[in-house]
Amino acid sequence: MINLLPQKEKEALSLEQLRKLVTILGITILSFLVCLIFVFLSIYIFTSGEVILKNYSLKEVSKSYQSPDLENFKQIIQKYNEIMPQVQSFYAGEKYFGTALDVIYSIQKPDGISFLNIFLDATGRNSAQNEISVSVSGTSSTRDNLIIFQNNLLKDPSIKDASFSPESWINSKNPNFSVTFRLIQK
């Protein structure tokens, strides 16, 4: 085909064609950007809603954890957490009070002797040497029974430094006695 149009017309047509091409490309790019903005806007709205929902749920859950029962429970747990290192150090020291009581009750005592109080202390000056300080108070029917008990107490090799209080020997009938000694555990 022969192009018989004048040069000005040719230029006007090519300019018109270029304008249409730029317009089509511009509209295409603009519509792509608008769609991209809508996609980002929808993602933003969705995530904002999720954040608001999670914050609301978090506030509700934190309110339920701030109830008086849970606060009391939390204080109890904290108190026991503070005590646990002391308990662990106690067990690490290997002081067996059951064994100590077994030794005390295995000492032969006459029929008229009865114990009223037994006090065991493993925190004394020799606590690192497996020693337990023991204080026993009780009653005896006669002073002779108390003397027999004293002799049996002194015969035991795990008992050291046994000493009766002076008041233990005052009455000849029904004396109250108090004895302290160190118990060496093996």
Following DSSP, what letter does each residue of 100-125 receive, concatenated? HHHHHHHS---TT-EEEEEEEE--ST
Residues in the chain: 186
Longest dimension (CA), the chain: 153
Could you tell me where the beta strands, DSSP code E, fall in the chain? 114-121, 131-139, 159-164, 176-184
Pick 66 or 25 by higher pLDDT: 25
- 117 contacts: CB under 8 Å, gap ≥ 6: 135, 136, 137, 138
Q: What is the spatial distance between Cα 60 and Cα 185, in angstroms, rounded to a whole number?
A: 57
Give the global pTM.
Answer: 0.48
- pLDDT at residue 38 is higher than 90: yes
pLDDT, tens only, 112-139:
898 999 988 876 554 556 788 889 999 9
User: Among all chains, which residue has been given the structure tokens 């000694």?
Assistant: 181
Burial class (CB in 10 A: 0-12, 13-18, 19+), 150: middle
Beta bridge partners of 118: 136
**97-184 belongs to CATH 3.30.70:** yes
Query: Residue 90 — pLDDT band, cuts 50, 70, 90?
Result: low
